[in-house]
């Protein structure tokens, strides 16, 4: 749903029984953390240098220094807001309310082909003790299948690596097709064991909605970026 006060987007899935959780998907109107989030002198906003890869940063203490390049951040530390920036790529937020573990992911086509959401789920399990039955995922606004034409650079490894490739593309014409990047990530989440009832998708295309979103495909390199993030104000019980 669209929060008209701050012009951010939130999802009902993360609001159910999760007191102390702040999450948002940014828009062109509010591209950064909203004023009503957990911002304040005791809150640390953690972002990383994104490189369209599959590396996951795990933060298990407040004083960690984020060096290197990553496209996902996982933590269980209250008072930390983890965030990613996008302008057509898919922002994906994770929450395990039973363990107080949460994550933010930047999934472009390279990261998606590399299984970044699957790697993030694995870090939540192996590093922080999350159980699949407790993990929730929210897939934010990104370029839609309507506007995202790809060529053989994407289509060839997609066909080779994913038996269900035909389910996540449309309008296949030779070496070109339209890729459903949100749907592709959702399918990987389901394949990883997260039930469909614990995945929510914001079906808004960043390229179509010029008034709401920045879009690299639509506007080129000069376009801006939206920030999407999630954080905890306290330890969840």
CA dist 10 and 206 (Å) reads: 16
Closest CA to 101 of 56, 131, 71: 131
In whole angstroms, what separates CA 117 from the centre of its chain? 8
Question: Model confidence over 144-164: pLDDT tens digits?
Answer: 999 999 999 999 999 999 999
Residue ranges and CATH numbers for the domains of the chain are 2-143+181-232 (3.60.140.10)
Residue 174 has pLDDT above 50, yes or no: yes
Q: Given the structure tokens 């929730």, which residue do they identify?
A: 136
**Eight-state DSSP code of residue 217:** H
Contact 91, 73 (CB under 8 A): no
Question: Model confidence over 177-230: pLDDT tens digits?
Answer: 999 999 999 999 999 999 999 999 999 999 999 999 999 999 998 999 999 999
Question: Model confidence over 28-61: pLDDT tens digits?
Answer: 998 777 665 555 556 788 999 999 999 999 998 7
Angle, CA of 159, 53 and 1, to the nearest 5°: 85
Confidence of residue 81 (pLDDT cuts 50, 70, 90): very high
Predicted local distance difference test score (pLDDT) of residue 21: 87
Q: Output the pTM of the full model.
A: 0.93
Residue 138 has pLDDT above 60, yes or no: yes
DSSP string, 65-84: ---SB-SEEEE--TTEEEEE
The two tokens of residue 128 are 């922080």
């Amino acid at each position: 749903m669209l929060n008209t006060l701050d012009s951010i987007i939130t999802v009902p899935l993360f609001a159910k029984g999760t007191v102390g959780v702040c999450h948002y998907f940014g828009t062109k109107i509010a591209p950064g953390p909203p004023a009503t989030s957990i911002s304040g002198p005791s809150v640390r906003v953690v972002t990383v240098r994104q490189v369209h890869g599959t590396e996951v940063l795990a933060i298990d203490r407040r004083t960690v220094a984020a060096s290197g390049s990553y496209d996902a951040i996982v933590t269980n530390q209250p008072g930390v807001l983890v965030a990613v920036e996008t302008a057509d790529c898919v922002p994906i937020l994770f929450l395990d309310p039973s363990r107080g573990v949460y994550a933010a992911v930047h999934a472009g086509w390279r990261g998606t082909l590399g299984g970044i959401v699957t790697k993030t789920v694995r870090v939540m399990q192996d590093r922080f003790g999350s159980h699949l039955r407790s993990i929730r995922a929210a897939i934010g606004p990104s370029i839609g299948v309507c506007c995202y034409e790809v060529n053989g650079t994407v289509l060839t490894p997609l066909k080779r690596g994913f038996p269900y490739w035909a389910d996540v593309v449309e309008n296949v014409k030779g070496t070109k097709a339209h890729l459903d990047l949100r749907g592709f990530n959702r399918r990987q989440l389901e394949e990883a064991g997260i039930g469909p009832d614990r995945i929510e998708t914001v079906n808004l295309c960043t390229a179509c909605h010029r008034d709401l979103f920045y879009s690299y495909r639509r506007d080129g390199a000069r376009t801006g970026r939206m920030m999407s993030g999630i954080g905890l104000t306290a330890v969840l019980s």
